[in-house]
Amino acid sequence: MHDDATATATPEAPQETGALIDHILTHYHEMHRADLASLVPLAERVEQVHADDPDAPTGLARALATLAREMEDHMAKEELILFPAMRAGGGAGIEHPIAVMRADHDDHAATIARIRKLTGDLTPPEHACGSWRSLYGGTATLLDELAAHIALENDVLFPRFETAR
């Protein structure tokens, strides 16, 4: 997990389509995978250590694992199908996989809402320990970066191929 302030979540994205895709892959896809790989076991530990605390985020590790699975399926489709087609210049029918990706983006919202609900919108209680705080801080950063990632695809990358026909 990286501890950057959320202000660094939307660095300058390159203009050119191939470079923009590279930027999405390294700055978002790989970063999300690394963040989730550490947040899920951290949530398991916090839930376990604070099992008797009524403020503990029971179910958070499961919700994060669900988000990781949904995002992995989605990012794999972009990496294996959509982005290679875009690098090759797009072409007839590309609006169909783009529509599927937009629907996937909307589908992440239910799991994200569950994560926010379980954690009081990622606000740790007064008495939260360091691990608990770092779990909520890391999850907040992940969700901010995921929102920036989705906005970059929905608003910048995808329209280039939806309107070029």
Binding site for Fe ion (CB under 5 A): 78, 153
CB 76 to Fe ion: min, Å: 10
CB 8 to Fe ion: min, Å: 18
- Residue closer to Fe ion by CB (options 42, 86) is 86
- Residue closer to Fe ion by CB (options 29, 50) is 29
Alpha carbon separation from 148 to 62, 121, 156 (Å, rounded)? 24, 18, 11
CB 52 to Fe ion: min, Å: 39
CB 156 to Fe ion: min, Å: 12
d(CA 32, CA 29): 5
d(CA 11, CA 109): 23
DSSP 114-159: HHHHHTTTT---TT--HHHHHHHHHHHHHHHHHHHHHHHIIIIIHH
- Residue closer to Fe ion by CB (options 47, 78) is 78
- Residue closer to Fe ion by CB (options 77, 125) is 77
Helices (H), the chain: 17-24, 30-49, 60-77, 83-87, 95-118, 130-152, 158-162
Q: Residue 105 has which token pair?
A: 């983006």
CB 147 to Fe ion: min, Å: 12
- Residue closer to Fe ion by CB (options 47, 145) is 145
